[in-house]
Amino acid sequence: MADFQTVARTGDIPAGEGRAWPVNGRMVAVFFIDGEYTAINDTCPHMGASLATGHVEDGGVICPWHAWRFCVRDGTWLDNPTAKLRNDAYEVRVVGDEIQVLVPDPPSHTPPTDSPEADPAS
Ligand code: FES
């Protein structure tokens, strides 16, 4: 079961910017915006750019490759907020000077019942 993991210390992320760390099998972008830490999946759902390297303004990060914008708090795709497409967002807390994120365990792989993986004899 996932638990909070320390990714950085306060002061490691300049105000108004983001940085990315591997957590629980994926890259997580942590932002320090208006005195608050937030975390979303670092991998842009369009073509995979690192969102932590994007410019942040008005609570949204602008993807450095094609300029899609995502909310740094909840992962909403700000260019089309009613779309099903969104990015994952994660809980963040600060304990002492440690910035910690809670990233769910990746889904376990269960092969379809008609897959050769499901029957080792086939
Ligand atoms: S890779 Fe992010 S907008 Fe294209």
Q: Quick: pLDDT tens for 28-55.
A: 999 999 999 999 999 999 999 999 999 9
Q: State which ligand 1 atom lies nearest to the alpha carbon of 48.
A: 1
Q: Ligand 1 centroid vs 43 CA: distance in angstroms?
A: 9
CA of 103 to the centre of ligand 1 (A): 22
* Residue-level pLDDT at 121: 52
Residue 122: pLDDT band (50, 70, 90) is very low
CA 79, 82, 83, 88 torsion: positive or negative?
A: positive
| pLDDT surpasses 80 at 115 | no
C-alpha span between 13 and 100 (Å, rounded): 13
Domains (range + CATH), the chain: 5-116 (2.102.10.10)
Question: What pTM was computed for the model?
Answer: 0.87
